[in-house]
Amino acid sequence: MAGYRKLGRTSSQRKALLRNQVTALLYRGKIVTTEAKAKEIRRIAEGLIAMAVREKDNFDTVTVTAKVPRKDADGKRVKEVVDGKKKTVYDEVEKTIKKDQPSRLHARRQMLKVLYPVKEVPKKAAGKKKNTKEIDLADKLFTEIAPKYADRKGGYTRIVKIGQRKGDAAMEVIIELV
């Protein structure tokens, strides 16, 4: 007997489906799916959240100096002419960054093996590439989701049955983060 549900798909299709649904669950907070899929999604999502809770405070804060291009009032880079060529003017700025410890870095890479990249598009620019931003779901797990569940020992998701689907009478459920 298999240790997982096959969901009537080949292994690559099943893996892609589950990755997609786990990504959607962690990004949106709740999704509607079938009961069998929800039980498999729960296994993966709870493992990722548990990993994030374990490693949420495992980083060092480091101050670094960075070269940043100087910008004018319009937001364009300032250029000056040196030896007949236009060169961008840079300023040195002190920045504080988080440097992951090795175990947190490993956890982040394990998460990125499961999670797909997510792009957020603002509503007023729907259908355009401009102003889209990449959401770092691994960072969201560490900064938003893990602190919420820090004092919890498990059971980060809830499955609520909502009835049978009209087409094939499959049991539909809502899986959500508690």
Is there a domain that residue 147 lies in? yes
Q: How many domains are there within the chain? A: 2
Q: Mean pLDDT in the chain?
A: 92
Closest CA to 137 of 155, 151, 119, 159: 119
Closest CA to 26 of 133, 138, 105, 147: 138
What local confidence, expressed as pLDDT, does residue 11 receive? 95
Residues 77 and 48 in one domain: no
Domain containing residue 148: 11-58+116-177
Is there a domain that residue 38 lies in? yes
Q: How much is the pTM?
A: 0.83
Is there a domain that residue 108 lies in? no
Q: Token match 């004092």: residue? A: 151
What local confidence, expressed as pLDDT, does residue 74 receive? 86
Q: Rounded to a whole number, what is the distance in angstroms from the first to the last CA of the chain?
A: 31
Is there a domain that residue 4 lies in? no
Q: What is the mean pLDDT of residues 79-91?
A: 89
Q: Which two tokens stand for residue 148?
A: 């919420």
Residues 49 and 134 in one domain: yes
Is there a domain that residue 107 lies in? no
Residues 70 and 138 in one domain: no
Question: Could you tell me if 28 and 128 are in contact, meaning their C-beta atoms sit under 8 angstroms apart?
Answer: no
Q: Tally Cβ neighbours within 10 Å of residue 145.
A: 20
Alpha-helical segments (H) within the chain = 11-28, 35-55, 102-114, 137-140, 146-148
Q: 33-78 pLDDT, tens per residue?
A: 999 999 999 999 999 999 999 999 999 999 999 999 998 888 888 8
We report the CATH number of the domain holding residue 40 as 3.90.1030.10
Give 133's strand partners.
120
What local confidence, expressed as pLDDT, does residue 44 receive? 96
What local confidence, expressed as pLDDT, does residue 133 receive? 87
Residues 52 and 121 in one domain: yes
Residues 49 and 129 in one domain: yes
